[in-house]
Structure 1
């Protein structure tokens, strides 16, 4: 079962998407900011995908987190989301999904990555 790390500061959205991803067959971990996400990635070797919002509190937003994931954990897949405009640049091989999104669209996007089926 692939493991997804959901990084979202809005607890309601984080809980909802995490529950729906778990129902779709993923093991889900969730955190509220990028620094917590880095700590999880450093502690665990089983993260297959990071699903991150862009706008979060703290000194690191979702774009910086995605760049750090790409640099430090290249095999980890990345999906970036926001309710604002699509960022001008995102890390190589990352996907962008705008908010509001349907979780089934997120699941479909996740399943396009190798080892996420």
Structure 2
């Protein structure tokens, strides 16, 4: 008789740099998220169309493989799921407006920032009774 695993929140990481994508994925997995990783906005949009309601956090770079930018993806993602937490990152100044509720992080950002956002989101999902890590 196996015990069922607790339901983990899902995060979508959209980054065309494989090392960045892997690092962000590891940070989120460490914070008890199941991670779906994509290198293009088009691939991420397919995920959002299929299981967008299950994804609670999306982190995307502005410049991605494919024809769509991370800013365009942020707008599309909010249409699929208005409650989705969206973080858009770039090493360049942001020249387009983001959808309401989306955040912009200039690179380089600190890995601890990813963990903080992930753990706040997980706490909100699982309620205040969830144990927190000590800093």
| TM-score, normalization by structure 2 | 0.78
Distance, in Å, in 2 between the alignment partners of 1:46 and 1:26 is 11
Find the counterpart in structure 1 of residue 15 from structure 2.
8
Alignment of structure 1 residues 70-89 onto 2, 5 Å: 70-89=78-97
Distance, in Å, in 2 between the alignment partners of 1:106 and 1:86 is 19
Structure 2 unaligned segments of length 5 or more: list them: 1-7, 128-135
**Greater helix share, structure number:** 2
Structure 1 unaligned segments of length 5 or more: list them: none
Alignment of structure 1 residues 42-61 onto 2, 5 Å: 42-44=49-51, 45-61=53-69
1:24-62 deviation per Cα after TM superposition (whole angstroms, max 9, x unaligned): 221111000000001111121311111100011222100
Secondary structure at the counterpart of residue 89 of structure 2: strand
Secondary structure at the counterpart of residue 79 of structure 1: strand
Check whether the contact 1:7–1:32 (CA below 8 A) recurs between aligned residues. yes
The count of aligned residue pairs is: 117
Output the aligned Cα RMSD: 1.8
